[in-house]
Amino acid sequence: MRPPSKPRALLLPAYAKINLGLEVLGARQDGYHELRTLFQTIELHDDVVVRPRARGLAVRCDHPDVPRDEGNLALRAALELQRYAGVGKGAEIAITKRIPVGGGLGGGSSDAAAVLMGLDHLWGVGLGPAGLQPLARRLGADVPFFLVGGTALGLARGDEVYPLRRQVRGHTLIVDLGRPVSTAAVFARVDRSLTPRENSHTIFRFVSSDLEGLRAFPILSNELERAALEEAPDLADRVGRIRGILIRGGAALALLSGSGSSFFGLFEDGRQAQGAQSALVAAGFIVLRARTVSLDQYRRAWSRSLRARRARGVGNQSRSRHHGDHRRQGHSGRGRKAEGLRIDRV
Ligand code: C5P
C-alpha cells in the first residue's frame, strides 16, 4: 500500500493593487464611505505560503511591521474560514513581503484573499472565489477585490466588485514614500469637505465610454489625495515633484494610490516607464516597476498555484515562480517586448 500523500503546501502570489480612479460620494450609516473606484492589480506581489497542520493557526512574516497576532488580516482570514466552514484543521501561513506596508497598495488585503483561496482549497471547503465573497467583505473593504483581480469597478464600500470587460494593460511605476498613512484618518478628513452626491462623474464616463488607450485616463482622479496630503503634509512637496517627473516622462495617469502613501504612474510605453524610473531614482526616490495584471492573467495565476503539486522547499524561497517581473531600479529586467497601454475587452 502506498503511504498517504503528505498534505500539500501552496505558494500563492498576492498581487498589489492601485486605484486608477477613486470617488467618494458620501458618508454611510455604517461609518464607511460610499465609493466608486477602479481597481487594478499589478505584478508587484507578496508570496503567501499556506501549509495545513493538525490544529492551530500561526503566521510568520519577514517584515517587522506586520503583526503575528489577530491584528494580522491573513490570520483573521484563516480564522473566519475555520469558523464559517466548521473546520477543525489548522494551518501555518508564511508571508514574504514585497508590497510596501501602509502604502495604499492593498498588501494586507491581498495576503488575506490569498489565504482564503489557499485554505479553501487545502481544507477541502470548496467555496471558491464567489462563495468566499461574504467572508472577504467581513475582513475589509479591499479584500473582495482580490478574489477577482484585473481591472474592476468597486462600488459601495469598495467591496461590491465587478470585473470590467475592458482590461487595462500597461506599465506602472510605484514610488514608495515609506510613510504609512492611516486610511481611517484620511476618510475622517474627507468628511470635513464632502458634499454628498448621488452618482460618480468621471468613473462612470470612463467605464461607459468607448475611449481607448491614452485618451481614457486623464479624466480620472483620486478624491482621497487632498485629504491624504492634509493628513501627511510632509509628503506634499515630494508628491508634487514625483507627479511632475511622471507626467514629463509620459505617464498617462499619475495619482496617489488609495489613501496613500504610495504614488504611481501608468505608462503605455515600457521604455518611457524605464526613463521616468531613472529620473525618479536620480531625484532620490525608491521606485518599483510592475506591469498591470489583467483578469485572465490573475485567474491563470490562481489556477496555477492551486493546481501546483506539493512544492518542496516552499516557504524558504525569496522569489515566486509566478511573476518576478516587478523590479527595483538597477535590476535589468528580462528583455521583453514593450506591450504598450491597451484596454482589452475580455
Ligand atoms: O475596511 P478597511 O479596514 O480596509 O477600512 C479601513 C478604514 O477606512 C475603515 O475603518 C474606515 O474608516 C475607512 N473606510 C471608509 N470607507 C470605505 C473604506 C474604508 O470610511 N469605503
28 band by pLDDT with thresholds 50, 70 and 90 = very high
Q: How far is the first Cα of the chain from the last one, in angstroms, to the nearest whole number?
A: 48
User: What's the rounded mean pLDDT across residues 8-33?
Assistant: 95
Nearest one of 291, 282, 292, 288 to 245, comparing CA atoms? 282
Which of 17, 22, 32 most suits a substitution to test ligand 1, by most atoms within 8 Å of the C-beta?
A: 32
| 251 CA → ligand 1 middle, Å | 29
Cβ atoms 61, 94 nearer than 8 A: yes
Query: How far, in Å, CA of 177 to CA of 171, rounded?
Result: 19
281, containing H or E segment: helix 270-282
What is the number of the ligand 1 atom nearest to the C-alpha of 156? 21
Ligand 1 centroid – CA 309 distance (Å): 37
**Distance from C-alpha of 243 to C-alpha of 109, rounded to nearest angstrom:** 26
Distance CA(154)–CA(166), nearest Å, equals 15
pLDDT at 37 over 60: yes
**What pLDDT is recorded for position 89?**
94
> Within a 10 A sphere around the Cβ of 330, how many other Cβ atoms?
8
Ligand 1 lining (C-beta closer than 6 Å): 32-33, 35, 140-142, 157-158, 183-184, 187
228-283: per-residue pLDDT in tens?
999 999 999 999 999 999 999 999 999 999 998 899 999 999 999 999 999 999 99
pLDDT of residue 321: 40
Q: Model-level pTM?
A: 0.89
List of residues 6+ apart from 200 with CB closer than 8 A: 23, 25, 36
Residues across the chain: 346
* pLDDT of the residue at 197: 82
Q: What is the DSSP string of 105-126?
A: S-HHHHHHHHHHHHHHHHTT--
What is the predicted pLDDT for the residue at 213?
62
Distance separating alpha carbons of residues 39 and 226, to the nearest angstrom? 19
Closest residue to atom 15 of ligand 1, CA basis: 32
Sign of the four-CA dihedral 159, 44, 79, 308: positive
Please, which residues have CB within 8 angstroms of residue 36's CB and are 6 or more apart in sequence? 21, 22, 23, 25, 153, 154, 155, 200, 203, 204
Q: Are 50 and 21 in contact (CB under 8 A)?
A: no
**Residue 141 alpha carbon to ligand 1 centre in Å:** 6
Which atom belonging to ligand 1 lies closest to the Cα atom of 158?
Answer: 21
User: 214 pLDDT exceeds 50?
Assistant: yes
pLDDT in tens, 281-292: 999 999 999 999
Range from 1-5, 152-156, 317-321 that averages highest in pLDDT:
152-156
Give mean pLDDT, residues 38-60: 96
- Going from the C-alpha of 11 to that of each of 119, 126, 241, 272, 302, the distances in angstroms are 11, 18, 38, 33, 10
Note if the bond before 262 is cis, omega within 30 degrees.
no
Q: What is the pLDDT of residue 44?
A: 97
Q: Grade residue 161 by pLDDT with cuts at 50, 70 and 90.
A: very high
The one catalytic residue among 17, 97, 111, 269? 17
Which residue's alpha carbon is nearest to atom 3 within ligand 1? 140
Average pLDDT in the chain? 88
Q: In the predicted model, what is the mean pLDDT of residues 81-88?
A: 95
The fraction of the chain above a pLDDT of 70, given in percent, is 86
What pLDDT score does 206 carry? 87
Give residue 65's pLDDT band: very low, low, confident or very high (50, 70, 90).
confident
> What's the pLDDT tens digit per position in 108-150?
999 999 999 999 999 999 999 999 999 999 999 999 999 999 9
CA of 221 to the centre of ligand 1 (A): 19
pLDDT of residue 236: 94
Pocket test for ligand 1, best of 183, 189, 190 (most atoms within 8 A of CB): 183
In whole angstroms, how far apart are CA 211 and each of 41, 285, 298?
21, 33, 24
- In the reported structure, the alpha carbon of residue 145 is separated from the centroid of ligand 1 by a whole-number distance in angstroms of 14
- Between CA 258 and CA 24 the distance in angstroms is 11
Residue 2 has pLDDT above 70, yes or no: no
Reply yes or no on whether 176 is catalytic.
no
How far, in Å, is the centroid of ligand 1 from the Cα of 158? Answer: 9
Is the CA virtual torsion 176, 179, 183, 186 positive or negative?
negative
Q: Rounded distance, CA 257 to CA 244, Å? A: 16
pLDDT(315) > 50: no
Cite the DSSP H helix spans in 123-193.
128-139, 183-193
Give the per-residue pLDDT at 336.
38
179 or 43, which is more confident: 43
- Secondary structure letter of residue 222 according to DSSP: B
Average pLDDT over residues 70-92: 95
142 is catalytic: yes
> Going by C-beta distance under 8 Å and a sequence separation of 6 or more, which residues neighbour residue 229?
235, 236, 239, 256, 260
Cα angle 292-98-307, degrees, rounded to a multiple of 5: 70
pLDDT, mean of residues 180-203: 88
CA-nearest residue, atom 10 of ligand 1? 184
Mutational pocket test of ligand 1: of 111, 157, 231, the residue with most ligand atoms within 8 Å of the beta carbon = 157
Catalytic entry in 111, 142, 159, 176: 142
Q: Residue whose CA is closest, atom 11 of ligand 1? A: 184
Nearest CA to ligand 1 atom 7: 184
Distance 203 CA to ligand 1 centre (A): 20
Q: Is the pLDDT of residue 320 over 50?
A: no
